[in-house]
A and B are shown apart, each in its own frame.
Chain A
């Protein structure tokens, strides 16, 4: 935990909501992605993040100075997201241990060369692939609605998103291998 974070946390524990907002803000993207990975729904994940922030603020005095703030937030979000998943009666997406492994590092996933490469690859998407990624990931449009909007069946939409994943994977691999010395 950085000195700045420690200082802000102390202020937040003293009842300063602005300090809490500042210390929370950098962790929100990770919390949102983590919650969505668990509960499988864009809007429910937003709710989970809000609930997590409220619980964290109320119980901030229970956070000991040496504790990992991001890990603590994740633990709260996990409970809320699991509850949301049950409410939504969603099938468990993938093994939970895999989610934990991928979200082990709380720092932004887009940092680092691989993350940057993926960001560039996403920017280079065009046409229906770009539309699908924007609708599904950025706007949180339900899959069936998105399929309707794009004049496709939901099966075709699922296949399109699968192809996009594969394309992005290849794109990142190409970029990284082009950069690495042969």
Chain B
């Protein structure tokens, strides 16, 4: 698992207290704080500082706060015991018949099960054969470390009882002063992603046959359920073992995807394989849309200041490869990329340098929605890295996504009741999952770059409705057009799942249609992982494993700049 050094943890601690930390970093930080007493003490001190300053701030606004509260309670009446009792009785009288019916149904089902159950006589030959365990599990003598964060019950915990033993503020402890932070003008957006692990050798989960051969008494061992970290560790071990194939195989040609997964999967930046991939993508010619888009994402994540020149080249490629209809195809090299050669950042430069890009040529006539939505991810990374994209490019892309959304509504222009999705192009057939998640993410990115609120965008909402209605983590919902229109196909299911993670994170929701998408996706991925740590869903085991890990690590950075409805506006 990815780990922080104390310096990294302390740098992230402030971000955490500012609520400016991503989920993956928060998880790693939490794990660090569990183990590191000095950092834990420091976080308590920071929290206490925040408490003091915030209380002082509230003290200064006390009259304003009080007047709002006065308005709030003006028309309130207090509830008496009798009223509360009556209300509960009313609730009980409504719920009682439902509960009674449910109990009766359960009883009848149980009765049927008893009447019709016939014990199956086991095959004695089969019984003699060794039974392989159904799922790869690790035999762990120690108790589980930490439950998976994302499958915590979503409900509020019961209110804490009143505290009886107040204690003093946390004592000052001897902590090493954090190192001086780097110059803000040249500071990377994201610090080095990981500290070198103690044991750099990839950790493999024990294959199931090995587990089966271990003569253990089951009553003496604790079978630890597989966790998110186990799944990621297994997947990363598989990828690292296969990395050479990934790089050499011209067909897969996805070094950028591998590096993107390395970043999120916890491989240290100093790792020789990491460095090899980085060196390769920094020097290779820009030829293909997928590769260039993910390259921009990788470099922006690593250090958008240091790699701004290369990111600007990616932007030029993407802008020059936009098709006249607003889509992107697989792409062709643009000679104008070589014209991008930014001078070194001036010493007095404050903040991120803004680099304008202009369109020098058009891409081919039409493209596809798969390349197009990856191009949008790349453009988002360029935008975040200070590249000023031509507005017309984003508007044209936005127009394409809007025009190509399926329209099943009976009233022209109105969103349909079940929502509208996307397919691979602008065809007459039904939408499906992997393209719809791409379409939603792309429209959100367009809105984000153009400065509009995607939560008020009816076409984004319509896409989310489609996703809610057809929600699945087990298959790629809808008719898969590259597989004889097979409904709810397994084709590209992990490609779809990573798209689902992006759509939900970019939109900013933990639930889709009432489904906690991450918890469900996590369980589905844990269940589907192969004994060698890979996932296989029709896109090739290497890419599928990357997509699965990217989902598990929630690789998408949320768009934090846009307000959530209802938040940030004080009550009048």
Contact = CB atoms under 8 A, between A and B. Distances in A.
Interface stretch (B20-28, B268-276, B446-454, B469-477): B20-28
Given A21-B66, A104-B167, A165-B46, A95 B33 contact: yes
A5 interface: no
Interface stretch (B67-75, B335-343, B537-545): B67-75
A168 B49 contact: yes
A71 B569 CA distance: 28
A106 B169 CA distance: 11
Interface stretch (B56-64, B387-395, B437-445): B56-64
Interface string A32-44: 1110110011011
A133 interface: yes
Interface of A is mostly: helix
A21 B69 contact: yes
Given A109-B169, A158-B14, A162-B11, A49 B69 contact: yes
Interface in A142-171: 142-144, 151-156, 158-163, 165-166, 168-170
Contacts of A54: 69, 72-73, 76
B15, B76, B160, B162 — most chain A CB neighbours (10 Å): B162
Contact of A89 (B26, B46, B164, B509): B509
Contacts of A7: none
Contacts of A173: 172
Contact of A32 (B54, B76, B162): B54
Interface string A102-130: 11111111101011001100100000000
Contact of A29 (B62, B165, B510): B62
Given A87-B567, A102-B169, A104-B167, A79 B159 contact: yes
Contacts of B156: 79, 82-83
A82 B154 CA distance: 10
A94 B510 contact: no
B285 interface: no
Contacts of A115: 52, 169
B137 interface: no
Contacts of A168: 49
Contact of B16 (A32, A58, A88, A94): A94
Nearest to B185: A156
B69 A162 contact: no
B399 interface: no
A61 B352 CA distance: 57
B17 interface: yes
Contacts of B18: 40, 136, 143, 158, 161
A30 B20 CA distance: 23
B184 A68 contact: no
Nearest to A52: B69
Contacts of B77: 58
Contacts of B58: 28-29, 32-33
Nearest to B70: A21
Interface stretch (B37-45, B192-200, B215-223, B366-374): B37-45
Contact of A118 (B43, B52, B62, B561): B52
A33 B167 contact: no
B50 interface: yes
Contacts of B45: 169
Contacts of B70: 17, 21
A30 B73 contact: no
Contacts of A88: 564, 567
A143 B18 CA distance: 9
B55 A29 contact: yes
B360 interface: no
B356 interface: no
25 contacts: A20-B73, A28-B58, A33-B51, A41-B19, A41-B567, A47-B570, A47-B571, A49-B69, A57-B73, A57-B78, A58-B76, A68-B163, A68-B164, A76-B159, A89-B508, A105-B167, A109-B52, A110-B56, A119-B56, A151-B350, A152-B184, A152-B350, A158-B15, A158-B18, A169-B45
| Closest CB pairs A-B (n = 3) | A71-B162, A40-B19, A156-B184
Given A94-B33, A163-B181, 13 more contacts: A28-B66, A33-B58, A41-B567, A46-B68, A47-B571, A57-B73, A82-B157, A87-B566, A93-B21, A101-B167, A112-B168, A115-B52, A143-B18
